[in-house]
Amino acid sequence: MSMKDRPAVSLLSCPACGNNEDFIEVAENVIITTHYVQNPDGSFTPGEDNSQILGPVRLICGECEEDLTAFHHRFTEMLF
């Protein structure tokens, strides 16, 4: 199957401004836990970190900041 014969992909686009390139995901109430090890010279080296999202996650248009959270599920399915 050539490129030309492929069914057209329906892109996620902002209903307000038509933007289909730039999107912003905003996570609220995030707890970031970072493990540090202190070195003999007194400096600290960060080890593994962990972030935990407690609040809602919103999807926003990168152009006009329209709230696109209704499309967030679809957005995460296409994230790779």
From 26, 30, 64, 78, residue interacting with Zn ion (rule: CB under 5 A): 64
Q: Report DSSP state, residue 35.
A: E
**How far is it, in rounded angstroms, from Cα 54 to Cα 42?**
33
Q: How far is the CB of 69 from Zn ion (least distance, A)?
A: 13
- Cα–Cα distance between 38 and 17 in angstroms, integer? 50
Residue located via tokens 């957005």: 75
Pattern of binders to Zn ion over 14-53, x per CB under 5 A?
x-xx-x----------------------------------
> Quick one: 16 or 78, whose CB is closer to Zn ion?
16
